[in-house]
Structure 1
Amino acid sequence: MNLTDPVHKKVIGIIFIIFSAFGLLSILFYDQFMDFIIRMAAQDGDMLPEAAWIFDFISSLLWGIALIFFIPRIIIGIGLVNQRKWAEVPALVYGIISLINIPIGTLLGVYCILVLTAKKRTEEDY
């Protein structure tokens, strides 16, 4: 398998875009779900109004993580799909970071490292 083929970088870009979009959708779902739960608890009187800031803090923290990881990864994925040279180094960094996300992220990280560090073959290698 020739890992220097540009189609591999496009595949990584598409996977980056899809996983980041799913991540953003899951954070949006969590945010809306927790707002619903907090409103229901406040309506029943089971929750102290002073405790609502904790859930807002957690939601803000998750959106901050989304800004750091998901949004740039979508931009990098678009760059890889369009075969931009500037997207390769950040994609390698995010590929290494995704090794932590077991099992799918580990597979994506290994594939990303293999593709982005592959050397072009010379005529003598064939």
Structure 2
Amino acid sequence: MNLSDPVHKKVIGVIFIVFSALGLLMLLFYDQLMSVIIGVAQDEPGFDPDAIWVFDLISSFLWGIAIIFFIPRIIIGIGLLNQRKWANVPAMVYGIISLINIPFGTLLGVYCILVFTAKKKGDEDY
């Protein structure tokens, strides 16, 4: 299998876009679910309104992670789909970072390492 073929980079780009979009959707779902839960809890007697800041802090932290990881990966995925050279190094970095996400991130990370370190057919040393 020729891992230096541009098709592999396009596959990685699609996977980056899909995984990041799913992550953003899950985060949106979490935000909406917590809004509903807090709304219901506010109607209960004995609810402490000072506890809402904890949920706001968690939500802010999760959106910060989304800004750092999900949104750039979508941009990198689009760059890989359009075969832009600037997307190779950040894709390799995000591929290595995704190694800690067992099992799918590990597979994606190994695949990124294999694709982005593969030599072209004519570049092999004899």
TM-score of the superposed pair, with normalisation by structure 2: 0.96
Residue of structure 2 in register with 1:39 after alignment: 39
CA offset digits 1:44-97 (Å, max 9, x no partner)? 234210000000000000000000000000000000000000000000000000
Residue matched to 2:81? 81
The amino acid that maps onto 2:96 is I
CA distance in 1, matches of 2:76, 2:99: 17
Amino acid at match of 1:64: G
- Percent identity over paired residues: 74
Which portions of structure 1, spanning 4 or more consecutive aligned residues, are displaced by more than 6 angstroms? none
- Assess, with a 3 A threshold, how the Cα gap between structure 1 residues 47 and 7 changes in structure 2: closer, same or farther: same
- Within 1, Cα distance between the matches of 2:31 and 2:123? 55
Q: Which runs of 5+ in 1 are unaligned?
A: none
Q: CA deviation at 1:121?
A: 1.5
Query: Alpha-carbon deviation of 1:111?
Result: 0.2
- Equivalent residue number for residue 18 of structure 1: 18
**Equivalent residue, structure 1, for 2:58:** 58
TM-score, normalisation: structure 1: 0.96
How many residues end up aligned between the 2 structures?
125
